[in-house]
């Protein structure tokens, strides 16, 4: 996820662009850049790293002009570098882009064949040359942009300027947010309203396929077919701080609600429905090398380790290969029996966790092939791995990992599909069936999020309790661990996750009426056993909070609180069970007045041992 801004007016553009980008840094910060129409030429300035580096460069050599665009990057294609930083330019235009162009490779090939020269590794630069291709004499910039967007597949929010139409900026969106704002003498474009709040509160949110022709005094909207459209004018009443969180009170809640989009973005462009295959170009191993893998390791920390535990169930079921999962801080000091040609998977949101990095280095030394599931493009773990599978969920600001976790699970589903097809344990029909189920997940997640009020009601009943127990079986045992971790790290309540079948081996001694027990009870082959665990707990007077499959009636009569989960394949249920547990932890923490986004004693990335 990146941040884009644009300005057309009477004032110097640079201060307005930089001020807007500063409000968007939460969307990405591995590089930044601006382009300004200075006289008759568009000048571009870009810097790697935080926005401050760009500001320093602009102080050393000013850019002057009243029309400009700006960008703060969260890399998806092409490592963080000045060369890959936006804005990108072609002969006829300069643009900034947020989103993922799924078919950028074939488009790039075609444009190179037609003589276009590329200077970056990004998918964005393809759009700049595509616009240029349509921007022939007599063609308006808006028309060229519209024609180009009809060729691309994927998601985009664009702001485009050209020396050939000096007072005009074109904005277009599909799959990524874009908002335009106005004053009497200027117009603004941004990924997020927060970037323009200092100048205007009169905004219009573009809708799917919209394109805006923006001048200092007018904004004209058309759809992707070129027909004029009308969109509602909105008066923003938020204060700036609330706006940075998209109107949510905390980044954690905002990121919980981003999950339908981030799950989709992690899948986007990575599968071919016709062949029922996942297409993972950066995975680093050839199908032949994958076919030769004897054993799979998954090593990580914290929430990422929980994702690894889910991965074990997935890979053993879909790929029929033994999977060994380890906590990184344990693995690295055990002189582990890693064999040459083992597949060693590490999972890390930050890509900088010291224990996970050390584990990956140890595995490499022992001859294993390392593939990492990482969120930060160009992070140390990504750079040191043989292959990488990025979770395209954008920066995760809340210390408690939420959207990164479900993106990690999504990446694991894609990897399991890839391996299953490569190793022949999944036929074409199986692959297509998996893809059908996976592409429906964001819709089901949206449905669960839409019932947040039910979770708030549960949180209100139990937020004063001092201990919680979370029980799950099979592929949802790791989700019991994750639900407990979420609750303890944001609300400071002691919570434990346990395999439900383990209750009688000790933990049941803890049970009393003061200990709420959360039970995850999907309608799978372990359902009856989970119900008996629930009855054991109920018989000892503990309040039972049951998360059950849609349509389940029985448990509703026994449990003290019930939340139903939409029906999906048992192997996909972890993503759906996670969402209400994240909401439960969040709302309990808020009710207890905890510092939800920065819980005490925690850091977003544990770069020390
Ligand atoms: C997750 O809610 C925690 N903040 C923490 O357990 C985190 O998952 C762990 O530190 C691993 O971080 P990583 O994914 O960046 O490697």
Residue 349, ligand 1, Cβ within 6 A: yes
pLDDT digits (tens, 9 = 90+) for 156-184: 999 999 999 999 999 999 988 899 999 99
pLDDT higher than 90, residue 23: no
Residue 581, ligand 1, Cβ within 6 A: no
Distance 196 CA to ligand 1 centre (A): 33
Mean pLDDT in residue range 202-209: 92
pLDDT band at 28 (very low <50, low <70, confident <90, very high): confident
Q: What region does 541 belong to: left with phi over 0, alpha with psi -120 to 50, or beta? A: left
Handedness of CA 307, 308, 314, 318 (dihedral sign): positive
Residue 605, ligand 1, Cβ within 6 A: yes
| Position in ligand 1 atom list of the atom nearest CA 301 | 11
Pocket test for ligand 1, best of 256, 298, 309, 349 (most atoms within 8 A of CB): 349
Mean pLDDT in residue range 64-90: 91
Residue 302, ligand 1, Cβ within 6 A: yes
Distance 472 CA to ligand 1 centre (A): 21
Distance 227 CA to ligand 1 centre (A): 47
pTM of the model: 0.79
Catalytic annotation, residues:
2, 604
Residue 236 confidence (pLDDT): 81
- Before 317, cis peptide (omega within 30)? no
pLDDT higher than 80, residue 553: no
Mean pLDDT in residue range 254-273: 94
Mean pLDDT in residue range 354-380: 92
**CA–CA–CA angle 112, 117, 121 (5° rounding):** 90
pLDDT band at 50 (very low <50, low <70, confident <90, very high): confident
Mean pLDDT in residue range 551-578: 91
Q: Are 354 and 607 in contact (CB under 8 A)?
A: yes
Mean pLDDT of the chain: 93
Q: Starting at the earlier edge strand, list the strands of the sheet with 187-190.
A: 41-48, 31-38, 67-73, 3-8, 187-190, 179-182, 202-205, 233-235
Give strand ranges (E) for 368-522: 369-374, 387-390, 467-472, 494-499, 517-521
pLDDT higher than 80, residue 480: yes
Residue 281 confidence (pLDDT): 86
pLDDT higher than 70, residue 240: no
Mean pLDDT in residue range 200-217: 94
How far apart CA 425 and CA 89 sit, in angstroms, is 46
Residue 200, ligand 1, Cβ within 6 A: no
CA dist 280 to 21, 311, 346, 461, Å? Answer: 32, 17, 16, 45
Residue 609 confidence (pLDDT): 67
Residue 2 confidence (pLDDT): 83
Residue 266, ligand 1, Cβ within 6 A: no
CA dihedral (306, 308, 310, 313) in degrees, to 10, reads: -140
Count of residues making up the chain: 609
Mean pLDDT in residue range 129-137: 98
Mean pLDDT in residue range 432-452: 96
**CA–CA–CA angle 231, 235, 238 (5° rounding):** 130
Residue 137 confidence (pLDDT): 96
Residue 580 confidence (pLDDT): 98
Residue 242 confidence (pLDDT): 64
**Which residues, other chains included, contact 61 with Cβ-Cβ below 8 Å and sequence gap of 6+?**
45
Mean pLDDT in residue range 592-603: 86
Helix (H, G, I), strand (E, B) or coil at 25: helix
pLDDT higher than 90, residue 378: no
Give strand ranges (E) for 120-253: 156-161, 169-174, 179-182, 187-190, 202-205, 211-214, 219-222, 233-235
Distance 517 CA to ligand 1 centre (A): 24
Q: Rg (Cα) of the chain, in Å, rounded? A: 25
Mean pLDDT in residue range 261-270: 93
Distance 39 CA to ligand 1 centre (A): 49
Residue 410, ligand 1, Cβ within 6 A: no
């Amino acid at each position: 996820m990146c941040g884009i801004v644009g300005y057309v007016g009477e004032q110097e553009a640079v201060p307005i662009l930089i001020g807007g980008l500063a409000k968007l840094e939460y969307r990405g910060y591995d590089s930044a850049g601006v382009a300004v129409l200075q006289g008759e030429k568009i000048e571009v300035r870009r810097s790697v790293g935080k926005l401050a580096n760009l500001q320093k460069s602009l102080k050393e050599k000013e850019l002057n002009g009243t029309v400009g665009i700006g960008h703060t990057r969260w890399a998806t294609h092409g490592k963080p570098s000045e060369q890959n930083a936006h804005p990108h330019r072609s002969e006829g235009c300069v643009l900034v882009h947020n989103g993922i162009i799924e078919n950028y490779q074939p488009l790039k090939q075609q444009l190179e064949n037609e003589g276009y020269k590329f200077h970056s590794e990004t998918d964005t630069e393809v759009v700049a040359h595509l616009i240029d291709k349509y921007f022939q004499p007599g063609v308006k910039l808006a028309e060229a942009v519209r024609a180009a967007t009809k060729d691309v597949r994927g998601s985009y929010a664009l702001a485009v300027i050209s020396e050939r139409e000096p007072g005009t900026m074109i904005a277009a969106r599909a799959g990524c947010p874009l908002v335009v704002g106005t004053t009497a003498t200027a117009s603004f474009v941004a990924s997020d309203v927060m970037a323009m709040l200092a100048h205007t509160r009169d905004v219009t949110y573009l809708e799917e396929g919209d394109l805006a022709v923006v001048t200092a005094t007018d904004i004209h909207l058309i759809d992707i077919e070129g027909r004029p459209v009308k969109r509602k004018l909105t008066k923003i009443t938020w204060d700036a701080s609330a706006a940075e969180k998209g109107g949510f009170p905390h980044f954690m809640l905002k990121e919980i609600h981003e999950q339908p989009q981030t799950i989709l973005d992690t899948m986007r462009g990575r599968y071919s429905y016709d062949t029922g295959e996942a297409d993972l170009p950066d995975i680093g191993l050839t199908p032949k090398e994958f076919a030769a893998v004897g054993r799979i390791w998954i090593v990580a920390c914290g929430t990422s380790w929980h994702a690894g535990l889910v991965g074990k169930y997935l890979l053993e079921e879909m790929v029929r290969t033994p999977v060994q999962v380890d906590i990184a801080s344990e693995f690295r000091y055990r002189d582990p029996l890693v064999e040459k040609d083992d597949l060693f998977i590490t999972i890390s949101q930050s890509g900088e966790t010291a224990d996970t990095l050390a584990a990956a280095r140890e595995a490499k030394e022992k001859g294993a092939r390392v593939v990492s599931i990482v969120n930060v493009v160009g992070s140390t773990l990504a750079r040191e791995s043989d292959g990488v599978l990025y979770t395209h969920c954008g920066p995760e600001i809340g210390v408690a990992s939420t959207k990164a976790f479900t993106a990690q699970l999504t990446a694991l589903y894609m990897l399991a599909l890839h391996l299953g097809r490569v190793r022949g344990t999944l036929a074409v029909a199986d692959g297509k069936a998996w893809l059908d189920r996976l592409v429906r997940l964001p819709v089901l997640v949206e449905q669960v999020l839409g019932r947040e009020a039910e979770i708030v009601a549960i949180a209100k009943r139990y937020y004063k309790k001092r201990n919680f127990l979370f029980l799950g079986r099979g592929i949802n045992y790791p989700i019991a661990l994750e639900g407990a971790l979420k609750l303890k790290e944001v609300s400071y309540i002691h919570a434990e996750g346990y395999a439900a079948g383990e209750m009688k081996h000790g933990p049941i001694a803890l049970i009393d009426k003061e200990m709420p027990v959360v039970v995850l009870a999907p309608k799978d082959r372990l359902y009856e056993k989970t119900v008996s665990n629930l009855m054991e707990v109920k018989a000892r007077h503990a309040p039972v909070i049951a998360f059950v499959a849609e349509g389940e009636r029985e448990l509703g009569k026994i449990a003290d609180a019930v939340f139903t989960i939409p029906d999906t394949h048992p192997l996909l249920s972890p993503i759906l069970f996670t969402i209400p547990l994240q909401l439960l932890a969040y709302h309990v923490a808020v009710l207890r007045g905890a510092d939800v986004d920065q819980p005490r004693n925690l850091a977003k990335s544990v770069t020390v041992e």
